[in-house]
Amino acid sequence: MRVLIIGASGMVGQGVLRECLAAADVDPVLCLGRRRLGTQHPKLRQRIVADLMDLSAVEPVLGSLDACFFCAGVSALGMSEAEYRRVTYDMTLGVVRTLVRINPGLTLIYVSGAGTDSSERGRTMWARVKGATENALLALPCRSYMFRPAIIRPVDGVESRTRLYRIFYRLAAPLLPTLERHLPRYITSTRQVGRAMLEVARHGAPLRVLESVDINALQGVAAAVPPQRLL
């Protein structure tokens, strides 16, 4: 299976990258982003793209893909709705439409978030924009699935790039494993998200919008290898 990860430097992207590199049936793993990753692996291919709004320079390497894991995103904090929509809706749809045109049989898995507003009419700005993005992606001619995790526990050395989140996870680290076992409806891990993405790419899923509890139920058959062999 040939996969593309967009946003592999983020917390969720790091988790799915680990699982893709560990999976025997995934090769190659192509990553698009604005910065080079600190990971080296024989299966890993990286392409630096200054602006995801324009993929013309990398279109030749985007063919023959089986799945795209779209993990890129920004916080809405301090952004106007127009600014947030440009990054979250316009950029995402532009990228995915290009990928679907080149790869008609593509499976898309888009990382959204718990609380996303599918009606697009709610009072919360980010939830409306995420809802509009999900709806537009689900309408495209490809197999598309929306992942809506709530709290994600970073494991296997994965770390958020956002300082505030890093502080939160360090403080909450002793409690999260226990909470994850007892509250699967609200808490998952980067490992579980990555493995669930691979399972959906391989076999599909009964739901096209998956919350944390659905993600946790997809205990995949993705082969895991010890962390020191990957990163």
- What would the mean pLDDT of 186-211 be, rounded to a whole number? 95
| Between 231 and 152, residue with greater pLDDT | 152
- What would the mean pLDDT of 66-87 be, rounded to a whole number? 95
Q: What is the structure's pLDDT at 100?
A: 97
Q: What is the structure's pLDDT at 178?
A: 80
- What would the mean pLDDT of 143-162 be, rounded to a whole number? 88
Render pLDDT for 158-174 as a digit per residue (tens, 0 to 9). Answer: 877 766 667 777 777 78
- Express as a percent the part of the chain with pLDDT over 90: 73
Q: What is the structure's pLDDT at 226?
A: 40
* DSSP-based three-state secondary structure for 109: strand
In which element (H, E) is residue 211 found?
strand 209-211
Render pLDDT for 86-137 as a digit per residue (tens, 0 to 9). Answer: 999 999 999 999 999 999 999 999 999 999 999 999 999 999 999 999 999 9
Residue with tokens 């995915």: 96
Tokens of 43: 């299966």
Chain-wide mean pLDDT for the chain?
A: 89
Q: What does residue 45 show for φ and ψ, rounded to 5 degrees? A: -125, 130
Render pLDDT for 40-58 as a digit per residue (tens, 0 to 9). Answer: 999 999 999 989 999 999 9
Lowest mean pLDDT segment, chosen from 2-16, 35-49, 171-185: 171-185
- What would the mean pLDDT of 2-30 be, rounded to a whole number? 96
Cα–Cα distance, 189 to 177 (Å, whole number): 9
How far are the Cα atoms of 28, 76, 120, 165, 226 from residue 229, in angstroms, in the given order? 17, 36, 44, 27, 6
Task: Tell whether the model's pLDDT for residue 151 goes beyond 50.
Answer: yes
Q: What is the structure's pLDDT at 183?
A: 75
pTM: 0.89
